[in-house]
Structure 1
Amino acid sequence: MPARMPLRPVCTASFLCAALAFAAGASAATAPLPQGCEPAVAGVVVAPAFPPSAPAFPPLQLQMRTPLEPTVLPGGGRNYLVYELHLQNFSADAMTLRGIQVLDADKANAAPIADIKEAQLEAHLRTVTIGDNEGTKRTLGNGQGAVAFLCLAFDSKTQVPARLRHRVLLDGAAAFGPVIGTRATPLPVLGGPVAGTNWSPDNSPSLHSHHRMGLWVVDGTAQIARRYAIDWKKYGADGKPWTGDQRDVRSYHAYGEKTVAVADGTVVVAQDGYPDNIPRTPAGFEPAVPVTMESVAGNRVVIDLGGGQFAYYAHLMPGSVRVKAGQRVRRGQVVGAVGNSGDARQPHLHFQLTTNPDVMASEGLPHVFETYRMKVGDGAWETRSNEYPMGNVVLDFGPEARN
């Protein structure tokens, strides 16, 4: 791995990102699917069962929108699309959602590439508007809304469509949403935010992750800054992140490990001085200082990578921040150390890429890491290139860290 490398996009809106999912030397092994990621298939064109009918009038008053269009994200031997579908009922009558079908927008009369049935639908939904919804997230009254958290997983032989459309199934009817693209964001190639081996990318996108479901309204806008965020932790052979006293931050395998710049850039935030918390135990948890919008990330560093993309390092160890606002940094340069400050229950590095320097008032952006070794379960280490680590895996970033 080179000591320095400029930030560069893997793909743009006109580039087929899926072609980069399997770099030379990567094996065909795949990581387990994260919970809530639906296997996607090619949309096979079929003959319509009935002649096309005239559009209904008035059309179904179900609004569908995707605030941040997805970008094909290679990871763990697959290609993923991670995004949200915001739904809102603008009619006077209640609507009960029975399913969501994802369609290839460029194939007329094609079968769905993914089909979320009624039995699985509720796990994907979060209700937006509080009110009487008959005890289910799937029933939207007048003015009520929900967000469907979607993740599509394509295998190496399936071409990811360039454009998608959604069909929401209701009682005796179906509503169609607008066309969205799948190549929205230039995908930067980054170095690792940590160095060394045995790192677990916890809370990466899945329906188990509070990051993925973390829709927040800040300054009047609902956003998911943590959409692709990862909590970098280390676990011992016993499956625990600590050895010894669970209440001592120094007992944790990740504590004090170096955090490094993922690319060349300019530091725009460098905050130090927050104390470490006593880690959470079965007896409970209380942060060392009250959690506010200012203190939630604790000691932190934010690097402007250019192109409207910001690398965010949170929960750093007090006294470890080595950079200052306005300073230029190079890829691999040490910026701090893993700590337990802010809203952190145990020592880890919270890392995310976002559209602005605010930890919550921003949209989380996809990214890939240039190279790392990956291990699934008790399997052998494999070298992966230009991927994002999806699923339950262990990573080795090697020694890239420069003082």
Structure 2
Amino acid sequence: MSIRYSKFLQPVTFISDLIVLNIALQCAHSLVFKYYSSEIQSVNFVLLVNLVWVSVSTITKNYTISRPLVLKDNLNRFLSSLLYHLLVVLGVIYFFRLYEVSRWEMFFTYSLFFFFIIIQRSIIFFILDYIRKKGYNRRHVLVIGDQDIANRLIRSFSKHPEYGYYFTDFISEDMIKDFPEQALMEKLVSKSPDEVFVCYKYLHPLLLQKLVDFGEQNAVKIKLVSDLILNNNYASIVNYENLPVIQLSANPELSFKVIFFKRSFDIVFSLSVMIVGLPVFLLLMLITRMTSKGPAFYKQERIGKNHKPFTIYKFRSMYINAEKAGPQLSSDRDPRITGWGRILRKSRLDELPQFWNVLKGEMSVVGPRPERQHFIEQLIEKSPSYRKLLRIKPGLTSIGQVSYGYAENLDQMHSRIRYDLIYLNNINFNSDMGIILKTIRVMVQLKGK
């Protein structure tokens, strides 16, 4: 069964995005009108936001949902459009001083819009996933070229019916040799493919050009499949005139969008925790001072981004001079830890002062755990890939800490590295929020140490 609904998907998504935007606008206006201020030129603001969104959405095509379905990538593209939209709206409002709009209304509008879009996109992806698995909305695919590469591709299609690809035929390189060129083109036309995957190893460049011309003349997508198998998220295609080159980057090249949103989130989240949690900070300081001799805070040199040392802050959980014998890792029954310190560590409340490091830009809320130079040297010797983690800011919490926990020895530190390397290859807002929620669960369940 091969019913195509793709032609309706983009306009439906575009219109539903616009509807969701106006729902967010109405909800934000209701909240501001009720709790903050009623003196808002709401009609002008609504008109401005809608016109700018239609323009930005049309240019960025954020309503396009491509195959395979990857919700994270789609939301990241949407965030880029949201950032552009915000910058344009702010430019009109503040630089040209055309309207006086409540900041609260803007804050609630954009927050609710993104929240509603997450729900909307999740529903769309769920529906697409369901109908494609049922055999609808399929793309007819023809595979041509090397047998081994083709088999790998076909197995991938069979494992992922949500891709919505229906394999129609395979033409091997040996069969191509026996086909006259005209007969080959006629066979391709008779199969009416939507996409042709060219699995190349030794495919003749003239034949490849003929296939590209065929795709242009018949509105068929031509996709080239390399025989390489890469475990690298930083692969990209760079065109040098008419020569496409696969570029494998050694560094995690974060886009401006990711850097901007991550730093903005760090600042807003840190300020919120430090302001709202001020009474808790003062209480923890008092209890720490009363339960054992020594200062409330403990500071230590750690290594940050690009091997730059910085001073990390914590609530003191150990007796003073606990490391007079040299750097040591803590354990469950470490005699250096005070009674109150065990509670701080179990609840991870000892980490709260590190929000000051985040605010200063030395750390991020989420990132690999910062270590001391003494242990970094040993880790690099045991696991050279640890160097990659020093290319981004360390974090107050990390996937390694919530999934593996604190390490009591070098072997455990080595085992934890693989979790942080996974995060390094998948840095985005969604994964950061997931790690923060898992961290809160660890704090509530007192599973820290």
Question: TM-score per shorter chain, which class?
Answer: under 0.3
Higher relative contact order (CA 8 A, sep 6+): 1
Q: Higher helix share goes to which structure?
A: 2
Q: Higher strand share goes to which structure?
A: 1
Structure-1-length-normalised TM-score: 0.21
Structure-2-length-normalised TM-score: 0.20
